[in-house]
Amino acid sequence: MRVAVVGGGLAGIAAALRLADDGAEVTLLESRAKLGGLTHSFRRGQLWVDNGQHVFMRCCTQYLSFLDRLGVRDQTALQDRLDVRVASELDPRVSRLRRNGLPAPLQLGAALARYRWLPLSQRARVAPVALAMRRLDVRDPGVDGQSFGAWLRERGCSDRSIEAVWELIGKATINAGADDSSLAMAATVFQLGMLSDRAAADIGWATVPLQQLHGDAAATALGGAGVSVLLRAKVSQVAPSPTGWNVRTADGETTFDAVVLAVPPTALEKITDLQQLGLPPDLAQRLGSAPIVNLHVILDRTVLDGEFIAAVDSPLQWVFDRTEVSGLTHGQYLAVSISAAEDLVDTPVAQLREWAMPHLCALLPGMSDATVLDFFVTREPDATFRAAPGSGALRPPARTPVDGLVLAGAWTDTGWPATMEGAVRSGHAAAAVLRARYPER
């Protein structure tokens, strides 16, 4: 079986490797000059800069297997036990959400009982709300159609509780605030990460630049598997032919038995007929996208102890120490990750700096003695699909009505939000559909 995989992000890489391992003859076409999709790095002077901070959790089993397949799992770190320090701009003290050894969903009970950023009355509400969430059927369209924020308020959660607990985790994972999130999507995050296995939410991160972890390692693994990788190969059309599917680039057309379309809806609609795939012609507009903005701050000294800190009473959300990964030898490199950043994605760098620095100084008291050596911004305007109420109904499965065409991408119906795990799962699902359809090829 000759298969083209269009798109060299995690979904396309995962699909190509799985198909090649199953014996298919695979060609991967990527429009950019490197693999990795939305998880890539670039050089800024002597530093390695990731386009955005990416983390994973222990429950991301297919992503972890993917790292094993690339041979780079040893280039990541994974907490022995979930431990998140949470700071406030209004109080110099730090609180911690650290799990204990009790089974789920009891593993955070003791930490929540001591969680200073939540009033006592609201701490008591967390457990019954979590248990109600545990019982939700996330595949129910009625659940998908509800707002997470509205559902929380119906169960007595205050705005403070939503910010300090539910959005602390949900916004970074879903890339949407509670009021703008599908209840099904939010419940999926908490069911998988908090309510099923006590260790599921332990946090992991790359200890090398993402380009090394994903793109470069994938190039090596794909080559070793016999996959032909074509970079700077922008696909302009995928069309049926008498013997399969023609894939057209600037260099001409090539015929394949099957094609994995591992691209976002905005790219998909430009290369094939969405209606033949059973998709609405305005899919990209209806599903939408959500941005993430990352602020990169280079300091002359260390102001953050530990790998990261989360924030309440602050628009900055999460702050990560990128010093060692970036190659910085003196001072500290902080990356501030801001999800659901619609209000900031088009803001000029100078204005972002003027806006962000007072917040960062209030969050990290050591900033008062530090000198900012550099400040720059990376933006992903279309980082994820918009996980709004009803969005689940717009996410198609890997299988399409058209023989030989399958879909992949974190935006498809993976059962996960738009994460690295979701992307890898989508690639594996696409490969499984083709293997079932062409078992003898």
Give the residues of the chain that fall short of pLDDT 50.
Answer: none
pLDDT for position 439? 79
- Reported in sequence order, the residue ranges of 99-233 that DSSP labels E, i.e. its strands, are 203-206, 228-231
Q: Give the architecture (CATH level 2) of 2-41+209-287+388-437.
A: 3-Layer(bba) Sandwich (3.50)
Q: Tell me the sheet residues that pair with 96.
A: 85
pLDDT for position 440? 66
pLDDT for position 361? 97
Q: Where are the domains of the chain?
A: 2-41+209-287+388-437, 98-198, 289-385
- Domain covering 98-198, topology: Guanine Nucleotide Dissociation Inhibitor; domain 1 (1.10.405)
d(CA 155, CA 136): 14
pLDDT > 90: what percent of the chain? Answer: 99
pLDDT for position 62? 99
pLDDT for position 93? 95
For residue 27, give every residue at least 6 positions away whose Cβ sits within 8 Å of its Cβ, in sequence order, or none: 2, 3, 4, 5, 227, 228, 229, 230, 254, 256
What are residue 57's phi and psi, to 5 degrees? -125, 165
pLDDT for position 310? 99
Selecting from 3.90.1150.150, 3.40.120.10, 3.90.660.10, 2.70.210.12, what CATH number does the domain 289-385 have?
A: 3.90.660.10
Please give the model's pTM, rounded to 2 decimal places.
0.97
Average pLDDT over all residues of the chain:
97
pLDDT > 70: what percent of the chain? Answer: 100
